[in-house]
Structure 1
Amino acid sequence: MTAKTPPETYYAGAYWGARKESPEECARRTAEFLTLLAPSEPFLSQWYLPTRSSRESREHPLMPPDVPTLTDQFRLGVNREKGGPVIERLGYGFWFGNGGRDYDRASLRIYSGGYSEAGSNSCVLTLPTLGRSPNAERVITAPVLTEVVRSMALAWEPDWAVAMSHAHRDLEDEAAKADVWLGWVTYLARQRGTVPPLPAPVRIEPVVNRGTLIVLTPERFTVANPEHIALARHVRDLLARAGLMPRTTV
């Protein structure tokens, strides 16, 4: 009997370099992100403070976002050596979820306000698992993930952002040797350069005056589809030639 292949798991993440921000500024950006994210899908419209159990968490909603509450959470997530002073340059961390359980949940991990050149800032959204979550089929679609990445771009002003499967990310790591992953949905900030014309079915959308969204396929992108992988590699080559995704030297 052939072992059943586990489903691909998907996530979305925004990434940016050193940017000094206070806990209040991190909280304001988080509140903006949650507000922009909520209309994209009901499953992503409710969030709760972290507690010892998911049942308890629902007693402490974060929606609508309250900046003073979020500020307190970022202050609690400050980096420090055990028993030592705050390491301000490493910024602040905050993790919370949408109250779901096991494979049927979403969670957010935010590291923001860091200004050490050795580190980075990020906002990463973990998504429910296809085949194991009643919500995943609805959430893991091009329209929803496009709005997720757009919300990240507007709220966090990252250098780049992506929505993709972990399996696709592993392929990108192995083949591209670049500092940016090209995913199912990718955002590139304006300062990276101008996105060139790309072949169908790829869709390109501006994000106000911030940058550009690239959506590879209207259907779900999967590494099990060789046409999807071929398309991604072709688009990456075009973006590399345009200077938007230069490969790193090894």
Structure 2
Amino acid sequence: MREDYYVGAYWGPRKETALECAQRAELFFHMLARCDPTFAQWYRGGRGAPRELPGHPVRPVVQEWEQLFLHGRNRTDAGKKVIEDLGFREYVWNAKKERTRIGFHCGAYSPWGGPNSCLLEPPPEGPVRERLLCAPLLAEILTSMATAWDPDFAMATSGEMLDLVEKRKWEVRVGWLTYLSRRLGTVPPLPAPVRIEPVGKLGWLLTLSPERMTAHNPEHVAFTAHVREWLDRAGLIERPEPPPPGE
């Protein structure tokens, strides 16, 4: 049975301009292009795109991403006024078929607007999906996300696994591969076969297993849950809930 895997990075309120987010995006796409040949070119929606292409080509340069983020600002329903503290949203994809999709929410500093995030969704099926869903390549993708966006945490997992392991709405999520920022604390020793690697001076990358971890394997679910508990006891899982609106 197919699982819906994804790679997601998340961070709390961080006020950044469209230019600052664009600089992060430029670095991210340059690093991502070295991970897999299908990550070399990305596209966006909009009228007038050539029919032979998946959309309008997006160049991985600061100037283009700044304009995309400015265009993707949140606005009020009435009057279409920019909501500054909700930051910027944009998404791109890389093919018509077997497409990988990447969505961004960045520059937001409202405690009630949801987390800032970078979310990569592999194709739902096909050889590209199978190539992407391997531990070494996912580690490169997570490293790219962590280096460019400096999130609080990131992980590669499936929605099905997350449903089985996550216990609180507001918590650091643990998956097959997990990145933890040093801001969260210190990673404790973990049992084999977990591999812990530093990501520069930013944090650590945890690979729970060299083989694909699936929600349909009870041993994989149990081990992921145990690692989450060890990290929770070390104070790395709990996140503060945002205050009620208006406070």
**Structure 1 length as normaliser, TM-score?**
0.89
Q: Give me the whole-angstrom Cα distance separating, in 2, the residues matched to 1:164 and 1:46.
A: 24
Q: Give me the whole-angstrom Cα distance separating, in 1, the residues matched to 2:16 and 2:73.
A: 12
Q: Indicate conservation of the 8 Å contact 2:18/2:70, yes or no.
A: yes
Q: Does 1:37 align with 2:37?
A: no
Q: Which runs of 5+ in 2 are unaligned?
A: 242-247
The structural deviation recorded for 1:247 is 7.9
Query: Which residue of 1 is the match for residue 245 of structure 2?
Result: none
The structural deviation recorded for 1:98 is 0.6
Letter in 2 for 1:163: A
The structural deviation recorded for 1:94 is 0.5
Q: Indicate conservation of the 8 Å contact 1:176/1:247, yes or no.
A: no
Structure 1's 114 and 54: CA in aligned 2 closer, same or farther, altered over 3 A? farther
Query: Which residue of 1 is the match for residue 132 of structure 2?
Result: 139
Q: Could you tell me which of 208, 214, 223 is aligned with 1:231?
A: 223
Q: Which runs of 5+ in 1 are unaligned?
A: 1-5
Over the aligned positions, Cα root-mean-square deviation in angstroms equals 2.0
Query: Which residue of 2 is the match for residue 3 of structure 1?
Result: none
Q: Indicate conservation of the 8 Å contact 2:165/2:221, yes or no.
A: no
Q: Indicate conservation of the 8 Å contact 2:45/2:55, yes or no.
A: no
Letter in 1 for 2:140: E
Q: Could you tell me which of 88, 110, 118 is aligned with 1:116?
A: 110
Q: Does 1:194 align with 2:194?
A: no
The structural deviation recorded for 1:92 is 0.7
The structural deviation recorded for 1:55 is 4.2
Q: Give me the whole-angstrom Cα distance separating, in 1, the residues matched to 2:50 and 2:152.
A: 33
Q: Could you tell me which of 11, 18, 21 is aligned with 1:23?
A: 18
The structural deviation recorded for 1:166 is 1.2
Q: Indicate conservation of the 8 Å contact 2:54/2:96, yes or no.
A: no
* Superposition pairs of residues 128-167 of structure 1, within 5 angstroms: 128-129=123-124, 132-167=125-160
* 1:1-54: CA deviation from partner (whole Å, max 9, x where unpaired): xxxxx3012101110111111111111111111111111111223211223579
Q: Percent identity?
A: 47
Q: Could you tell me which of 64, 76, 90 is aligned with 1:94?
A: 90
